[in-house]
Structure 1
Amino acid sequence: MKKVLIVETNVTRYQGTKDPTGLWLGEAAEFVDEMQKNGVAVDFVSPKGGFVPLDPRSMKYTDESIMQIYESQDFIDRGLKNTLRPDQIDPNDYAAVYYTGGHGVMWDFPDNPELQKLALTIYNNGGYISSVCHGIAGLFNIKNEQGEYLIAGKNITGFTTAEEILAGKKSVVPFLNHEVAEARGAKFSKKRFYSEYAIKDGRLLTGQNPFSVRAVAKLLLNEIK
């Protein structure tokens, strides 16, 4: 079976502030946990490769399953310390790509042509593009061979404006997911804030918030197993 490629951020701060951000731990760890339980191998990539910072606020939202992944040497080594660079990835090895969240991704996911090319190749090979929460930022600027946004006309979801307000970050984020998605021609759907919600539209699988990770993972597993 082919592997799943997990994309993580290298951004350590909300840009223009002193406040730390980074990967939302559970959005990687819970996904890895679901893949491991189903015998699906994963690799980790980030825009620059190497070190992936953790959003310190995400450490308040852990459980035993998240901590077990976080404490595993494999996750420490491959998922946090030594992530691969995009140029080290052969997209033909993967059945799917999964974009994690954490606010940091809003700065280094949208405009990375290497990641976009990897994702599009996986998709064109019949694979899946998936994301959760702010990870939707990785989908926004992927275009097909005709120059059209891949998400145009698709039903997708991600971290909502209401959730951004509740998180206290609406004033510091560079964009609002809902607005960008609709500007790209996507149909942005949502449920009540901080409720589990994941949707599938063709080979695009997206989840609304950090409470939707396992739902996204299970949608993907139903497709690739």
Structure 2
Amino acid sequence: MTKVLIVETNVQNYQGTNDPTGLWLGESAEFVDEMQRAGIAVDYVSPKGGFVPLDPRSMKYTDAAIMAVYRDPDFVERGLKNTLAPAAIDPEAYAAIYYTGGHGVMWDFPDNAELHAIASAIYAHGGYLLSVCHGIAGLLNLKNTQGDYVIKGKTITGFTTAEEILAGKKNVVPFLNREVATSHGANFQKKRFYKDYAVQDGHLITGQNPFSVRSVARKFITEVQK
């Protein structure tokens, strides 16, 4: 059975502030919905394992499908209350790793060696690297067995500087996705702010913002159903 590993953040506040952040609900829930429709199993992991906070702002951007997943006891138990720790993960069990967003990921995704090892192993055995929005932070510093950045020479996308400005967080976040991606040799593409946009480059599929989740999921589903 095809299975995907969903990565979520443990970070509850913007670093150095009391301003809450966390997982952007739709970026996990919409992906889960697409996987369920396609008969693809999922597991959930976070850098520390255990509890995953929700960005309260994300609750304003829900629909019936998102809320159906949110109310699913399995999602609540495995995806929010008791996510797996990286040490519990066998990369060989997964056809892809999917990095969700929410601003919190900018602090606990980029340099997590355990998650890097999992993603590298999945990619090395022909699996897919997926991300949406700020989730690209999980791929920005990932290197291959030759020591090169995985995104080097690849066309990718993620939450843009314009979107960061509109969100009012440009001066709060520790880095800007496009700047890091470009410095690591990636071809960073974008469309108009807050428009659905996903790009695929081989086994790398990335989405620009919260409105791109289903496009990322469907590109992956198309690949595994070939």
Give TM class, smaller chain: over 0.9
Matches within 5 A, 1:71-150: 71-150=71-150
Q: For 1:146-185, what per-residue CA distance to the aligned partner results, in whole angstroms no more than 9, with x for missing partners?
A: 1100000000000000000000000100000000000110
**TM-fit CA distance, 1:141:** 1.1
> 2: distance between equivalents of 1:178 and 1:16?
23
User: 2:172 is matched with which residue?
Assistant: 172
Identity of matched residues, %: 72
**TM-fit CA distance, 1:16:** 0.7
Instruction: Say whether 1:182 aligns with 2:207.
Output: no
User: 2:55 is matched with which residue?
Assistant: 55
**TM-fit CA distance, 1:224:** 1.3
**What code does the residue aligned with 1:164 have?**
E
> 1: distance between equivalents of 2:2 and 2:91?
10
The 3-state SS of whatever aligns with 2:95 is: strand
Q: For 1:19-74, what per-residue CA distance to the aligned partner results, in whole angstroms no more than 9, with x for missing partners?
A: 00000000000000000011000000000000000000000000000000000000
> 2: distance between equivalents of 1:64 and 1:146?
45
Aligned residues: 225
**TM-fit CA distance, 1:145:** 1.1
Instruction: Say whether 1:32 aligns with 2:32.
Output: yes
Matches within 5 A, 1:183-202: 183-202=183-202
Mark the runs of 5 or more structure 2 residues left unpaired by the alignment: none
**TM-fit CA distance, 1:76:** 0.2
TM-score, length-normalised on structure 2? 0.99
The 3-state SS of whatever aligns with 2:6 is: strand
The 3-state SS of whatever aligns with 2:172 is: coil
- Runs of 4+ in structure 1 off by over 3 angstroms are none
Q: For 1:68-93, what per-residue CA distance to the aligned partner results, in whole angstroms no more than 9, with x for missing partners?
A: 00000000000000000001000000
**TM-fit CA distance, 1:188:** 0.2
**TM-fit CA distance, 1:2:** 2.4
**What code does the residue aligned with 2:191 have?**
K
> 2: distance between equivalents of 1:132 and 1:21?
16
> 2: distance between equivalents of 1:97 and 1:60?
27
Instruction: Say whether 1:67 aligns with 2:67.
Output: yes
**What code does the residue aligned with 1:157 have?**
T
Q: For 1:179-206, what per-residue CA distance to the aligned partner results, in whole angstroms no more than 9, with x for missing partners?
A: 0000110000000000000000010000
TM-score, length-normalised on structure 1? 0.99
> 1: distance between equivalents of 2:126 and 2:117?
14
> 2: distance between equivalents of 1:99 and 1:124?
17
**TM-fit CA distance, 1:144:** 0.8
The 3-state SS of whatever aligns with 1:139 is: helix
> 2: distance between equivalents of 1:224 and 1:99?
18
The 3-state SS of whatever aligns with 1:13 is: coil
